[in-house]
Structure 1
Amino acid sequence: MENSENQEHQPTNFFQSTTAKLIMVGILTLVLLIPLNFVQELIFERSERKKEVVNEVTELWGTDVHFYGPTLRIPYKTYTETSVVDAKTKQVQIQKTTYIDYAYFFPEQLKNKSDIKKNTSLKRGLYNNVVFTANMNFDGYFVKPNFEKLEIKNEDILWNKAVIVVKTTNLKSIKSDLNIKLNNQTFVFESKAQDDKFYGELETNNFDYNLVNADGKINFNFSMLYNGSNSVKFIPVGKTTTINIDSDWESPSFEGSFAANTDSKTITEKGFHADWKVLHINRPFAQEHLEKMPNLNEFLFGVKLIETVDEYQQNERASKYGFLVIGLTFLIFFLIQSISKISIHIFQYSMIGLALIMFYTLLISITEHSSFTLAYIIATISVIVMIVLYSFSILKNRKFPLFIGASLTALYTFIFVIIQLENYALLVGSIGLFLILGAVMYFSRKIDWKNN
């Protein structure tokens, strides 16, 4: 009798205790972070490969479209005087040397209307490269420059050698004839060599500024058709600059020094419309400049055409929840093991963990040939079915495997919702984790830790 009581109260071997099993499961969870990290590196590698391909295609098709101009350039004479002493007579003579400098004048009014159409036909290998064609129309007018303000005499001004200058990126991707109409006279833009590594330069042939109309203005009008990608931006050189952009792109990002008008800005699934109006008082630079056009890139504004979350970003975000999925799945099996007294070997935990990691390799490989949503559904069903069928052989009944299947379905659904959300991802994730913690606390209350 005494012996049987001693046997009943004989302490369990530590390595067979619940505490030891919990420690081993925890260590296994940490070990599985190694293959999970390999999967994340694979996602990063595939993402970098896509960027390389996209860069190759956009370099051929066309990159960012940034526009600086038009600007009126008028040459004028400057003089330097040098004193020269005659060696024989010792008389001082004044030699006068003439140089040509340039004055640059921005337009009084600049208006632009741009229509941007996305092009999804470019494909290289697995990757679709979303680029666009931009049809841009410009009009406005210059007023007669005030050279007195610049302390330049009227007789030194070469009015008959004025030109219109436009600086723009992506010269190779302009797909239209470049004609500019100045008060009903047509001039042709020609590409000019210059030192600016960011912009290419276009300028007209010389014209006589005296073609001003009765109002003392030179009206201009011209159009440009671009192949481009990523962004369309402008520098507000007009004393009043008005920009209107329409596009069928559904995910714009408005960037730069000036915000789009909130009253007229619209974004829908079919595209967007945006307006900007910038006055001279809104920008800290003058309407006229001497010697050269200033660098005003810091005042660029416009729209960046983006993919809100591409497939590799979604895969990367999904993989970041890998530790959570493995840990919670192991916790479910551990709670079932502890409550039902069913023995689950550490090798069986390993097989379940590897199946969970295979989810991410399935996800990225299927995503590259279809959409992320379809890939997520296929990978989720495949992994859940595999784990549920394996659980039938481990747990020897139907109740627990079905519960595991329902739990994993809820977990993967929860993660998918978080991945799709942008503004509320943190809020929904925090609420979800709080509820999961509450459920774990509820089910773990039946475990008798004193005898383990």
Structure 2
Amino acid sequence: MNQNPPPGGTPPPIPRPPHHPSSTSIPPQFVPAHTGTAPRQSISLKILFIVLLSLLLLIPDMIIYSLNDERADRQKETTQEISKSWSGPQLLSGPIISIPYITKNNRNKDSIGGTIRLLPATLNACADIKSQTLSRSIYETTVYNADVTLNGEFDMHALKTTGIPVDRMLFSKAYVTVGIGDLKGVETINPIKIGQTEYTLDGTSDEDVYVNVTFNNNTDYTKFSQTEYEVEVVDIDDYTSSTSGCMQASISIDSTASATIPYSIIMHIRGSQSLGVTPIGAESTISMAGICKSPSFSGMVIPTERNIEADSFSAKWIVNSINRDYPQSFIGDKPYKISRSAVVTNMLVPVDRYQKTSRAMKYAIIVVLLTFISVLFAEIIVKHPINMFQYLLIGLALILFYSLLLSLSEHMQFGLSYLIAAIMTIGLISIYMLGVVQSRRVSITIGIVLSIIYTFIYVLLCLETYALLTGSIGLFIALATIMYASLKINNKGYRLQ
């Protein structure tokens, strides 16, 4: 209805239509908690930035990884230096009787044709070991003293298998040898008794029948060089012609007196890392026992009997000649075959901190991505944008965890080091998130998420057989949780509810 204005009066106000939100109004889905003109960022850009930042953080992660390897190499070098000063890994082989024989040359004259090696018919070896730990700086290695007894019998009938006539064997020039890894480790040794006669052993390294090859925990072979004092890991078929230490004495044998000849020898030796004995008898019984906190057994066969207690152990091997690949008598040298048949007790310090730290760092990318995704969800929930620099600081805190873990584990147990480093990292990020988003609920939630992640990673480090299965199931659950949470986010990165 039209109303005419009164003459000379003020026209009435024109009524305005009701206000409706227009397309130019601020969308109600996202209202920043703070005032300002900061531009909106879509979820796609944020995800792209998170991926790029995660890849960038692999650079400091690799730097710490290289530092971990460097410290592990330093640990090995220190162990070798201590072994050089004390004595290297010891490998006992023998006794072996060597008998030269003559042959006819082209001029029908006698000449030395070679050497026959006679191994014992029975070998009873007993070693009483007392280990101790030597330290240099933060690195440690295990050394030991051992009282060793070797006794048994030689069977002269075994010489017939060589095919050399007895009348060509020079029994007057026979000698007995006992191989040992490092002569420097022989503190005292009694004369060896062959039959009813005692012979004094002298040190030599001229015999090629011995080579000092022992086994480490990875079932590779560790060769200790007596002259260069270097420990080198080699493959099974990758040997050199260098010989180990050897003790030797000239003996007199009457081949017609008896078919069996008893022998015995007692020695006190010292060494480091491992003690091995070769089962050269047709029937060999080897016993090792003593004081050691962390013994392990390796070599051709594992012990037939073993018992490990808190600070002591005992082990027993029973090996027959059929278990080896060399006979009781032969012509020439068989150094590698003899050494490869050794049974070994390892007395290494259980230093696995570098290995576990290395394994933990392989999960770094997973920890970073899961943490960034959690922070992204927190940003969307509280409707408070978190800038890229703040994401970078959170990522650096996650990488710093591994530096803390490495440095702490060198001074305390790995489990305790992991706990302290995790608490420091979780506390730092949680408090920082509280200051960024001003939400105690979000801060606590991030702390819980990080606690779950670090606990899960520690469980994987402790597992061996089921580590892959547990890790796969854990990642499946994490991905399913993220997929479910992403259903509440639209393509622009704003919550729909």
Q: What is the TM-score with the length of structure 2 in the denominator?
A: 0.79
**How do residues 83-102 of structure 1 correspond to structure 2 at under 5 angstroms?**
96-99=109-112, 101-102=114-115
Q: Give the match's secondary structure for 1:130.
A: strand
Q: 1:421 Cα shift?
A: 2.5
1:337-379 per-position Cα deviation (integer Å, ceiling 9, x unaligned): 1233221111111111111111111222222222222322222
Number of residues paired by the alignment?
Answer: 435
- TM-superposed CA distance for 1:9, in Å, is 7.2
Which sections of structure 2, spanning at least 5 residues, go unmatched? 1-18, 31-37, 209-241
Alignment root-mean-square deviation, CA: 2.9
Matches within 5 A, 1:257-406: 257-261=300-304, 264-292=305-333, 295-296=336-337, 297-306=339-348, 310-406=352-448
Amino acid at match of 1:31: L
Query: Which amino acid in 1 is paired with 2:46?
Result: K
Distance change >3 Å, CA 364–CA 375, structure 1 → 2:
same
1:201 aligns with 2:246: yes
The letter for the 2-side match of 1:119 is Q
Which of residues 65, 69, 84 is equivalent to 1:40?
A: 65
Contact 2:97 2:174 in 1 (8 A): yes
Do the aligned partners of 1:15 and 1:21 also contact (CA within 8 Å) in 2? no
Query: Could you say which residue in structure 2 is the equivalent of 1:90?
Result: none
Given candidates 70, 75, 79, the residue that maps to 2:104 is 79
2:126 matched residue in structure 1: 113
The change in CA–CA distance for 1:20 and 1:321 in structure 2 (over 3 A counts) is same
For 2:161 and 2:48, the matched residues in 1 are separated by 83
TM normalised by structure 1 equals 0.86
* Structure with the bigger percentage of helix: 1
In the alignment, structure 1 residue 134 sits paired with structure 2 residue 146: yes
Tell me how far 1:218 sits from its aligned partner. Answer: 1.6
Closer, same or farther: CA 100–27 of 1 in aligned 2, 3 Å:
closer
- Using a 3 Å threshold, how does the CA distance of structure 1 residues 395 and 248 change in structure 2: closer, same or farther? farther
C-alpha separation between the residues in 1 aligned to 2:483 and 2:27?
28
- Matched residue of 2:22: which SS? helix
Q: How far does the alpha carbon of each residue in 1:264-286 deviate from its partner, in whole angstroms, 9 at most, with x for none?
A: 23445545433322222232322
* Contact 1:73/1:102 (8 A) holds in 2: yes
Are 2:465 and 1:423 equivalent residues in the alignment?
A: yes
**Secondary structure of residue in 2 paired with 1:258:** coil
With 420-429 and 146-155 compared, the bigger mean Cα shift is at 146-155
Q: Unaligned 5+ residue runs, structure 1?
A: 83-94
Which residue of 155, 162, 173 maps to 1:143?
Answer: 155
**3-state DSSP of counterpart to 1:243:** strand
Contact 2:306-2:314 at 8 Å conserved across structures: yes
Aligned-partner Cα distance in 1 for 2:461–2:312: 23
* Contact residue 105 and residue 145 of structure 1 kept, 8 A: no
The sequence identity of aligned pairs, in percent, is 32
Letter in 1 for 2:179: K
| 1:244, distance to aligned residue in structure 2 (A) | 2.0
Separation (CA, whole Å) in 1 of partners of 2:384 and 2:473:
32
1:50 is matched with 75
Residue aligning to 1:4 = 22
- After superposition, the Cα gap between the structure-2 partners of 1:234 and 1:332, relative to the gap in structure 1 and judged at 3 Å, is same
Counterparts of 2:42 and 2:472, CA distance in 1: 33
Give the conservation status (yes or no) of the 8 Å contact 2:382–2:437. Answer: no
Do the aligned residues in 1 keep the contact of 2:192 with 2:263 (CA within 8 Å)?
yes
The 10-residue stretch of structure 1 (339-348 or 223-232) with the greater mean CA deviation from structure 2: 223-232
